[in-house]
Amino acid sequence: MITQPGFLASEFPPGVDVFDYKTLIPSLEGSMWAGAFTKLSLLVWMAVAIIIVFFLVTYRNPTLVPSKKQWLAESAYGVVRNNIATDIIGPQGVRFAPYLATVFCFVFVTNLWSIVPFAQISPNSHLAFPVVLAVLTWVIYIGIGIKKHGLLGYLKHSTVQPGVPWWVHPILIPIEFLSNLILRPITLAVRLFANMFAGHMILLVFTLGGVALWNAGPLLLKPAALGSWAFAIVMTLFELFILSLQAYVFTLLSATYFQSSISEEH
Amino acid sequence: MNIAQEAPAPAEHGYNVLGVPLAEVIVGLIAFGVLLFVLTKFVFPRMESMFQQRVEAIEGGLVKAEKAQAEAAALLSQYKAQLAEARTEAARIRDEARADAEGIRTDVLAKAREESDRIIAAGREQLAGERASIVRELRTEMGSLAVSLAGKIVGESLEDEARRRGTVERALADLETAGAR
């Protein structure tokens, strides 16, 4: 960035346009398929490829006493299976473990792009990708709820709070309906999207801000530029923490929703 | 500050932060679907079976160790029993040997005593026989001696059968009764 400071500094302060990735195939420019062949889509495909290759290679010849790589692959699945699926949903949660583990790996690796050099943007900072995952989770938890309790039974199960005075129900039922059946996928998607969006913004601010300070002229501002870049590194580490946490939270909340759908009590 | 200015009018810039383009949704769906399919079909079931195998291996190992321990304990008690058996056997053999030796000793003693008794008895018998034959010889000899002696002294033949026989017999009977007394 120091070699081309003038070019980058002109972008400061970064606006939302930095998230507007143009298609990598010029002939598609302007068509509705432009979004399918951007840098973000490429990163999604690469994430999927990396995860698949990682699991297939590490689990090609599994042994009873695992090698280091096999252990790593097993922990990725085992942690989600035991510490999320089984702990929250119970013994029957094992059947959701494959979905939850896939969600976790997908979100984690796509998030990880945000701090990988040259990628440095997470596909999840575009709302569409979190929405896909959140809607899938929503469909599943409503589906298993209806399968277990029946359509009306599930509506009652998820909206009517037991032990509440009858006159509160007219207020409570719409609120519960809204929060449990409508807002859950939205909050799930927006939480992930906003975190990755804001994370990218913060990294840009400190990196490009450093460039702007360096180019500002007065010698006195040069140390401030260095400080800004140093802080960009600190924020990158912070971003690593946030992106892991968001992957975990997304998986955890999905499991919680599944659990609430198939639980007997409210 | 740019954000603040642009946020109200995103359409102007052509980029909507909260937009959900269908193309990206499709990419996301297909990509995630492929990932879910591959992992659920080829990876996670193998991991589940591996976890299961591991559980079984550990449980099997525990069972095996328990079995080995039980086997060792059984062998130990068997050896101990055998040892005790051998000890009692040895003691029994020793006792028997002692009893045998005692028996042999008494046997030998008894036999020796019997033998000595027998020898003594035989000696006595022989002695008695010899004595009897000597007495018999003496008796005949003494008779003829006494007769010839008396004949010499008297000077006449006492060859008269009837007299001689009676005289000698009487004399011998007197002698015998005198000897027995």
Residue B156 — pLDDT band, cuts 50, 70, 90?
A: low
User: Pick the residue with more confidence: A48 or A36?
Assistant: A48
What are the respective helix, strand and coil percentages of chain A, to the nearest 5? 80, 0, 20
Token reading at A148: 């277990």
A96 pLDDT exceeds 70?
yes
- In this prediction, what percent of chain B has a pLDDT beyond 70? 85
CA angle A209, B20, A100 (to 5 degrees): 95
Distant-in-sequence, close-in-space partners of A205: CB < 8 Å, separation ≥ 6: A13, A14
Predicted local distance difference test score (pLDDT) of residue B167: 75
Token reading at A183: 């807002």
What ipTM score was computed for the predicted complex, to two decimals?
0.90
Interface subset of A 232-261, CB within 8 angstroms of B: none
DSSP string, A40-98: HHHHHHHHHHHHHHHHHHHTSS--SS--HHHHHHHHHHHIIIIIIIIIII-GGGGGGHH
**Number of structural domains in chain A:** 1
Chain A: closest CA distance from residue B43 (Å): 7
Average pLDDT of the segment spanning A55-73 = 90
A189 burial (CB, 10 Å; 0-12 / 13-18 / 19+) is buried
Token reading at B140: 């005949």
Predicted local distance difference test score (pLDDT) of residue B181: 54
Q: Do A132 and B29 make contact, defined as CB atoms within 8 angstroms?
A: yes
Predicted local distance difference test score (pLDDT) of residue B108: 94
pLDDT digits (tens, 9 = 90+) for B8-29: 434 445 678 888 889 999 999 9
Predicted local distance difference test score (pLDDT) of residue A11: 65
- In this prediction, what percent of chain A has a pLDDT beyond 70? 95
Tell whether B34 lies on the interface with A, counting CB pairs under 8 A.
yes
Chain pair A-B, CB pairs under 8 angstroms:
127
Q: Do A74 and B42 make contact, defined as CB atoms within 8 angstroms?
A: no
Q: Tokens 């002696």 label which residue? A: B149
Q: Tokens 């997908």 label which residue? A: A106
Q: Which of A94, A148, A139 is nearest to A261 (CA)?
A: A148
Give the three-class secondary structure for A2: coil
Structural domain including A107 reads 5-262
For residue A93, the one-letter residue type is: G
Average pLDDT of the segment spanning A167-177 = 91
pLDDT digits (tens, 9 = 90+) for B40-75: 999 999 999 999 999 999 999 999 999 999 999 999
Average pLDDT of the segment spanning B76-105 = 95
Q: Please, what is the average pLDDT of chain B?
A: 84
Q: Which of A183, A225, A189, A186 is nearest to A208 (CA)?
A: A225
- Are A141 and A259 contacting, i.e. CB atoms less than 8 angstroms apart? no
Average pLDDT of the segment spanning A72-85 = 93
A21 pLDDT exceeds 70?
yes
